[in-house]
Structure 1
Amino acid sequence: MPAVSGRRRLRIEVWSDIVCPWCYLGKRRLDKALDRFGHAEDVEVVWRSFQLDPTHRDGLREPVYETLARKTGGSPAQLRAMTGQLVALGAEEGLAYDFDRAVSVNTFDAHRLGHLARRHSLGAQMHERLMRAHLVEGELVDDVETLVRLGTDVGVPADKVRQVLAGDAFAADVREDIREAQALGVTGVPFFVLNRAYGVSGAQPVNDLLSALRTADAASSPAAR
């Protein structure tokens, strides 16, 4: 959609992993900030790939609590308290996190699917669907048949999904997103970059994201130049 006369488009790039509960919170809060922004029709949101654990072995499917215990050394009680806080935060944003069902997998193929969906102008919808599948529904987001179904859920043709997953299409795109994140100094996600001029790290409150939107918009407006 073209920008309104006299206004420039605002581009928001979001580095995010589909298994990241903070990223899902960040997406919900960004959606709310855009609703209040007043010029959402002039905003382009691009979802960029990031892997919280690129070393996770392909084919390894491990309950999230086992993964957390292995990585943090926390006790079951400590891990339950940590995820309980996330469940409460998610509920405030309308997200029903279910860590008892969530399974840790390598997300590289899911990110390749995200790039395919972007080619069909469905990048945001695909990212949302993948996050819900992992964090709410306990789906295996490294399974080919699951990814085909999730892709078709948002409108990506099943044959295109199968074709991509059968080869290495979009692998270079995923790696380039990750390389760009490293170049920008991104160490955690979500990470929001507005017009390649302003960076916002973490799932910030709606008001903070709205303030960043307004600052970036004002700086890119004709009056500011």
Structure 2
Amino acid sequence: MHITFFHDVLCPFCYVTNKRLKNVISKYENVKVKHKAFMIISSLDDLLAAAPTPEDARELFRSEFSILTRYYPDYDPKKVLDKGKIGHVWSMPPLMACKAAEFQRGDQGHWEYFSLAQDKFFMEGENINDDSVLISIAKEVGLDVERFKRDFKSKEAKLAVIQDEEEAKAMGIRGVPALVVNDKWLIRGVQTEEFLKQVVDDIMEYGEPKKVELKAYWEQ
């Protein structure tokens, strides 16, 4: 079976879903995950209009970072944001970087890069719009850095992000995280590991959800 995971590096709900999905599918051999980009902050100009200064932007992000306290009670968003590195951060640069990783190592490369980029953003407070940060992530996951430098700002990477988002919107997906199982069954929002495991078990055994209720993406 295969799962298409639409996500954004800047999305806290995607952070939780990513961790849970990884834990679940690590127990199966025949589940493949395809990674797709979906921008939650699609315009830097709009962000600048809403938050003219870096301090304003950090305040805007504070509520987003605080979402993680629902799932990780020990998480301290203030500690992360008070490092002062995050300011006017938007979705396109880190998603293009994820695509550059995908160009080299396919979906596994995308996943490794995406996961580390989220850790850098939400746990370490790094500015993942900064070229040096994006390149350092490429080094850390073992990519060919010179190729990454050519790819992560390329027209091809930007087009790949746009095409992913157009695909999601054509399927009626308007927000992330969103998981599409076997090109049909849509899982929206953050779900428990138990729920995700039951979906996988059902699909593998019956070819469709039985013990959990899911609709096809076109029925949403």
Task: Establish whether residue 52 from structure 1 lines up as the match of residue 40 from structure 2.
Answer: yes
Q: How does 1:6-155 map to 2 (within 5 A)?
A: 10-35=1-26, 38=27, 40-57=28-45, 62=54, 64-68=57-61, 79=63, 83-84=65-66, 86-91=68-73, 98-101=80-83, 102-121=86-105, 122-155=109-142
CA distance in 1, matches of 2:190, 2:134: 26
Shift of 1:206: 0.9
Letter of the 1:143 partner, please give it: D
In the TM superposition, what whole-angstrom CA distance separates every residue of 1:128-155 from its partner, at most 9, and x where no partner exists?
0111111111111111121111111111
RMSD: 2.7
Structure 1: runs of 5+ lacking an equivalent = 1-9, 70-78
Partner of 1:194: 181
Instruction: Give the structure-2-normalised TM-score.
Output: 0.78
CA distance in 2, matches of 1:176, 1:109: 15
Shift of 1:188: 1.6
CA distance in 1, matches of 2:60, 2:189: 22
CA distance in 2, matches of 1:59, 1:169: 25
CA distance in 2, matches of 1:22, 1:151: 23
Letter of the 1:22 partner, please give it: F
Shift of 1:99: 4.2
Partner of 1:76: none
Shift of 1:29: 1.2
In the TM superposition, what whole-angstrom CA distance separates every residue of 1:183-218 from its partner, at most 9, and x where no partner exists?
111122110111112110011011111111122223
Instruction: Give the structure-1-normalised TM-score.
Output: 0.76
Point out the more displaced range, 159-168 or 186-195. 159-168
CA distance in 1, matches of 2:45, 2:148: 22
Q: 1:96 to 1:180 in 2, by over 3 A?
A: farther
Residues 189 and 202 of structure 1 are in contact (CA less than 8 Å); yes or no, is this contact kept in structure 2?
yes
CA distance in 2, matches of 1:148, 1:58: 26
Residues 105 and 142 of structure 1 are in contact (CA less than 8 Å); yes or no, is this contact kept in structure 2?
yes
- Report the 3-state secondary structure (helix = DSSP H, G, I; strand = E; otherwise coil) of the residue aligned with 1:19: coil
Q: 1:153 to 1:68 in 2, by over 3 A?
A: closer
- Report the 3-state secondary structure (helix = DSSP H, G, I; strand = E; otherwise coil) of the residue aligned with 1:41: coil
CA distance in 2, matches of 1:13, 1:126: 17
Q: 1:140 to 1:42 in 2, by over 3 A?
A: same
Structure 2: runs of 5+ lacking an equivalent = 209-220
Partner of 1:180: 167
Residues 191 and 200 of structure 1 are in contact (CA less than 8 Å); yes or no, is this contact kept in structure 2?
yes
Paired residue total: 196
- Report the 3-state secondary structure (helix = DSSP H, G, I; strand = E; otherwise coil) of the residue aligned with 1:57: helix
Shift of 1:108: 1.0
- Report the 3-state secondary structure (helix = DSSP H, G, I; strand = E; otherwise coil) of the residue aligned with 1:148: helix
Identity, % of aligned positions: 20
